[in-house]
Amino acid sequence: MKDMPCGHGRHLLDITDLTPAELDQVMAMAETGVGGLGRVLEGSGAALVFEKPSARTRSSTEMAVHHLGGHPVYIQGSEIGMDVRESVEDAARTLACYHAVICARVMDHRTLIRMASALDEASSAVPVVNLLSDVAHPCQAIADLLTVREAFGSAADRTLAFVGDANNVWRSLAWAGVYQGMALRIASPPGYGPPREDLEALERAGGDVTPLVDPEEAVAGADVIYTDVWTSMGQEAEAEARREAFRGYCVDEALVSKASPSAIVLHCLPAHRGEEISTAVIEGPASRVWRQAANRMPAALGVLAWLLEPSRASHGASGQRHESVPPGGGDVG
Ligand code: CP
Ligand code: NVA
């Protein structure tokens, strides 16, 4: 029987699972694109577990698996029933029997940590990839930085202004931006900005991150304006309060006019036109949102090819492991 390709115990739960140099390697592989990366998933499965809906992430990841020679298996959260039908740990170990990689979009980030921990405890080399949690969206951030590099040649020394909620998308983007040498500003209403411990961690990593309240102050002279929905999936009960709190945080033409004349506008999508972004801006000349959406596929290619690259074993010893993986993990052994 042919051996399954496998990773080497590295997971991608957030950008911080990579070093800055490793993020650069992933991005370089993404920029190599289809055809240049070999078929590291030849003959293998890739489990794609979704506890929340998706347009971009599912399709881009499925296509990346296909281009790498693998077979994607889409699994709805309700079908697998994590912690309902069986434990997260048993589900992860079962999927690892058939798949070379487990990619998951989850309600609670701790589910990913438990999956990764269960596989580590079982000495499995199958990587877990975060396809969005309440905490982080690393594959999106890689596509975002690819889009910035496409526009400016390099992300280094460019200023990115994020206007809105300090959510999962912001958190991964902030780390990827800092790793790539960007200066970051975020404008959020009081109570919706980044927690102090996140800012301190970014600062310890050498980041230049400025939390603000005023969107105009944030975008003044910026090279990149980024926004995302005010209410993320799972926060629907807060939608009305958030709509009220974020009034005045719409990225419209007046706000974009305060940025650099060559500024680009990004949005991870799905967008709510007239709330966090105006139709004129998302359809306007500064918008790169469709390039950004397209870049989700090369980003997924880069992530999967990097994690499953046969030589990853030699990187593994010096590479970072997910610090927040608890030692126990649950029902494994
Ligand atoms: N940007 C993003 O992750 O889109 P989906 O939720 O449609 O996958
Ligand atoms: N912050 C959004 C991103 C969607 C891609 C959410 O979590 O719903």
- pLDDT at position 255 over 90: yes
Are 209 and 203 within 8 A, CB to CB? Answer: yes
**Residues in the chain, how many?**
333
Residue 96 belongs to domain spanning: 15-136+296-312
Inside any domain, residue 9: no
Inside any domain, residue 110: yes
- pLDDT at position 7 over 70: no
Do 247 and 182 sit in the same domain of this protein?
Answer: yes
Summarize the confidence of residues 51-56 as an average pLDDT: 98
- Count of domains for the chain: 2
E strand residue ranges, 151-275 = 159-163, 183-187, 208-212, 224-227, 264-267
Which residue's CA is minimally distant from atom 6 of ligand 1? 54
6 is annotated as an active-site residue: no
Task: Please state the φ and ψ torsions of residue 215, each to the nearest 5 degrees.
Answer: -60, -35
| Cα gap 20→80, rounded to integer Å | 35
Do 152 and 131 sit in the same domain of this protein?
Answer: no
Which residue's CA is minimally distant from atom 7 of ligand 2? 232
| Cα gap 331→333, rounded to integer Å | 7
Are 79 and 47 within 8 A, CB to CB? Answer: no
Query: 258: which 2 tokens?
Result: 């305060």
**pLDDT at 35 (0 to 100):** 81
Task: Please state the φ and ψ torsions of residue 118, each to the nearest 5 degrees.
Answer: -60, -40
Inside any domain, residue 284: yes
CATH number, position 116: 3.40.50.1370
**pLDDT at 323 (0 to 100):** 38
Do 143 and 266 sit in the same domain of this protein?
Answer: yes
Summarize the confidence of residues 153-179 as an average pLDDT: 98
Which DSSP category does 208 fall into? E
Inside any domain, residue 250: yes
Do 60 and 131 sit in the same domain of this protein?
Answer: yes
105 is annotated as an active-site residue: yes
Buried b (16+ CB within 10 A) or exposed e, 65-84: bebbebbbeebebeebebee
228 is annotated as an active-site residue: yes
Query: 56: which 2 tokens?
Result: 């971009």
Do 117 and 207 sit in the same domain of this protein?
Answer: no
Ligand 1 binding site (Cβ under 6 Å of any ligand atom): 54-57, 132, 140, 268-270
**pLDDT at 33 (0 to 100):** 86
Ligand 2 binding site (Cβ under 6 Å of any ligand atom): 132, 167-169, 228-229, 232-233, 268
| Cα gap 94→82, rounded to integer Å | 12
Summarize the confidence of residues 75-80 as an average pLDDT: 96
Summarize the confidence of residues 303-311 as an average pLDDT: 90
Which residue's CA is minimally distant from atom 1 of ligand 2? 232
At 205-218, the pLDDT tens digits run 999 999 999 999 99
- Percent of the chain scored above 90 by pLDDT? 88
The neighbouring-strand residues paired with 187 are: 163, 212
139 is annotated as an active-site residue: no
At 26-46, the pLDDT tens digits run 999 999 988 888 899 999 999
Do 163 and 95 sit in the same domain of this protein?
Answer: no
Do 265 and 303 sit in the same domain of this protein?
Answer: no
pLDDT band at 9 (very low <50, low <70, confident <90, very high): low
Q: CB 249: neighbour CB atoms within 10 A? A: 23
Mean pLDDT across the chain, nearest whole number?
92
Residue 327 burial (CB < 10 Å; 0-12/13-18/19+)?
Answer: exposed
Which DSSP category does 201 fall into? H
C-alpha to C-alpha distances, 254 to 72, 117, 146, 249, 282, nearest whole angstrom: 44, 48, 27, 12, 13
| Cα gap 174→180, rounded to integer Å | 10
Do 112 and 191 sit in the same domain of this protein?
Answer: no
C-alpha to C-alpha distances, 147 to 7, 93, 154, 291, nearest whole angstrom: 27, 35, 10, 7
158 is annotated as an active-site residue: no
Query: Considering just the CA atoms, what is the radius of gyration of the chain in Å?
Result: 19
Listed in sequence order, the residues at least 6 apart from 108 whose beta carbon sits closer than 8 Å to its beta carbon are: 133, 134
pLDDT band at 324 (very low <50, low <70, confident <90, very high): very low
Pocket test for ligand 2, best of 266, 268, 272 (most atoms within 8 A of CB): 268
- pLDDT at position 15 over 60: yes
**pLDDT at 172 (0 to 100):** 98
**pLDDT at 101 (0 to 100):** 98
- pLDDT at position 332 over 50: no
Which residue's CA is minimally distant from atom 2 of ligand 2? 232
Do 22 and 36 sit in the same domain of this protein?
Answer: yes
Which DSSP category does 15 fall into? G
